[in-house]
Structure 1
Amino acid sequence: MRPRRDLVPVLREALVVLGPMAGVTEAPFRAICKRMGAGLTYTEMVSAKGLHYNPQAAAARALLSFAPDETPVAVQLFGSEPEMMAEQAARLVERYGEAIAFIDINMGCPVGKVVRKGEGCALMRDVHRAAAIVKAVSTAVPVPVTAKFRKGWSESEANAVEFAQALEEAGAAALAVHGRTREQFYSGRADWDVIAAVKQAVGVPVIGSGDVFTADDALEMLDRTGVDAVMIARGAQGNPWIFSQARALIERGERVCGPGWLERIDLAAEHAEALVAFAGERAFTRMRKHVAWYVREMPGAARFRELVNHARSHAELMALLAEYREWIARLA
C-alpha cells in the first residue's frame, strides 16, 4: 500500500483549484484550466451506485477520463451507502493508480434528484452516515479521502463546523466548504465567515468555495478565512484565465489583464474542437453554454448566442465562431 499524500503542501502549492461542476468540468475544460494555472482539478461527480451496477457505461468512462497534463486529479464520488462507496473507491484507485490525487466525497450537491436519495447535501442532515462513509472509504483506499459540503441544509440547520469536525474524526484528510446552504442553491451571498469558522475548528487543510469570480476575490478569501486553497467553480465558466490572474496576484502581487475579445473567441474554438474530439460530434450541443460564457458582455453577444443555440452541427458552430471572430476583429 502506497503512503498517503500529505495534503497540506499539496493544497498550498495548488493554491487555486477548479471545483467540480456537473456537465461543465469535462476533461477538455479541465485541461484548459490546468494550463491556465489551476493547481488542481476535480472530475465531475461520479455515482458510486452507477459504477457498481454498470461500471462499463459510456457516461462513467467519460467522467473518469483524465487529460494527460492534469494528473494527479481529484476524483469526486457521490452516494449514501458506506460499503458501496468504499468498494468503488478502492476499484478506482486500483484502476487509475497514481493518476488519482485523492478521493473526494460529494456532500454538498443541492439538486433535488440527488438529495431525494439521501446523497449530496442530504448527508448534512445525517452526520453519522456521512462520517461512516468517510471512515469506510478512507479505510479502503491508500490515497487521502476528502469531502465537499455546504454551510448546512438551511440557516436553521447550519451545522458546517460540527459536520467538519465529525468528518475529520472519521478520517477526512481535507475539507472543502461552500458558504451557502442547500436552500440557497447558488442564490444570495456565500458566507465566508462560516468557512473561516471551519478552518479554525479543524486541523486538516480546508478549501474555501463560493463567490470567487475575480483574482481579487481569491486573494480576499485567503486573507479573510485563512483557508489553504481557494476553489473556483462558476467563476471559471468562460474565464479560465482567472486561475493565472489569481496566482499572479496572490504569489507576486501582480495584476494581469484579462483576455482580449479575439483571445476569448479563439479559446472557445479550441475548447469546441477538443470537446468534440473527446466526446464525439454530438458533444457540440454541450459546447453551446461554454460559448455563451466565453462571449459574455462582448459586442453582439446576445445575437451570437441565439445563432449558436440554433447550430445543428459542430461544423456550423465552428463557422459561426469564425464569422463572429471576423466581425469582432473589424471592431477592434
Structure 2
Amino acid sequence: MRWPWRRQGSGDHLVVSWSAQTLAYVLARSGADGVHEVLKFGVERQGADSMDDFVRRLQGLGLKGLDASIMLRPEQYQLLQIDAPAVPAEELRSAARYQIREMLDTHVDDVTLDVMRVGDGQQKGAGHLFVVAATNSVIRGVLGLGDAMHWTVAVIDVLETAQRNLQSALAAHDGRADRANAALVLVDEHQAVLTISANEELFYTRRLELPEGFLAGSWAQGDDAAAGLADSTRSFTPVDEYVPDYSVGGVSYGNDYTDTRTVHTPSVAGGAGDDEKAQRFLVEVQRSLDVWDRSWSSMPLNGVRVYAGERSPELSKWLGTQLGQSVVPMDVKALFPGFEGGAVGDEALCLPLLGVLMRIESRKL
C-alpha cells in the first residue's frame, strides 16, 4: 500500500484524525488560487456514548457521506529511519519490512507500512528512508469509522508529512520554498513535533516530550531582560559533546534530560520549576538544530515557525532570543481563511489536519 494511500475525490473535503475516542476534523473547500476556505472545524469526544450514538452525533454535524482524508496521530504509528536498501524502487517496501522487524513494537506481520526517501534526492550516497508502520488494528479502526460515516477515504496520512506540507506551503507563500525551514508544533500539552524540510520534502523529524506544565509555564522575564540575554545563545555546548538519544536525521524515542550542566540558559520568571522545564525543552531543541547544522551544512536553516496556540508569539520570541535563530509564529490565516474562532485546544488538534489539504499528489520514493 502506498503512503499516503489515496482514491480519487472531489468537491468539499473533510480531513479527520481519530484516536483515543477523539475525533478532530476540518471541512474545507479548495479554491483555484490554492487557498483552502475552512468551512468548519472542531473536536468531538466519544465519551460515554456508544459508537452508534457517537456516529449519529457526527452525522448531526453534517459530516456524513463526504470525501475524506484521515491523518494518524503519533501514538498510532512508528516513524523509523533506516539506510535505504540497495534494491529497485518497487522492492523498497518489502526490503524495509525485513530491515525494521526488530525495531517494531509489535510483530512485523501485524503492521501496514510504507516508505519515503529522506530529503529531496539531490544528496550523494545511498541515502535513508523514513518508514511509517501502523498496526493493522489501527488502520481497521480508522477505516471502520469511515465506513460508519459513509466517507470516501481518499488518503491516510501521518502527522509529520502533514506538518511538512503545511510548512512548505507557508515557505512557498514567502517565496522561500527551496530553503531549509523548520516547524515546531506543540501538538498537545505533552508533545511537540519538530520537522525540517526543503524543496517540499522532509529531511528531519523528531518528537519532543514536553515537561509537565511546560505549556502553562513562564518562559521569559520581559522584553528588557530578553534583549540583554542575546549573547547567551553562544554558550551552548557543540553537538559533538552531547550524547543524544536519536540518530542523525532520525526520530526521538525519548529525551535525555540527565546532563544539562554544560548548557547555560538564563533564568525565566516563575521560579526554579519553570526555569528547569524551560531549560530541558530548550536543550532538546538546540540539540536537534545542532544535528541539522552538522549533517546538512550545505543547507543552512532559513528559520523556524512555531505553533503553541495563543502563546505562539510568546514562545517564538523566547526561542528566537535563546537559539539565535529567526523564529516566527506559524500563521496560517492567509492560506486557510476561516480557521479561527475555535477553542484553543481544538485549534491545536486541528492545525496539523490543514497540512493534509496541502498534500502534493506525487512524491518521490
* TM-score with structure 2 setting the length: 0.25
The structure richer in helix per residue is 1
Calculate the TM-score normalised by the size of structure 1: 0.27
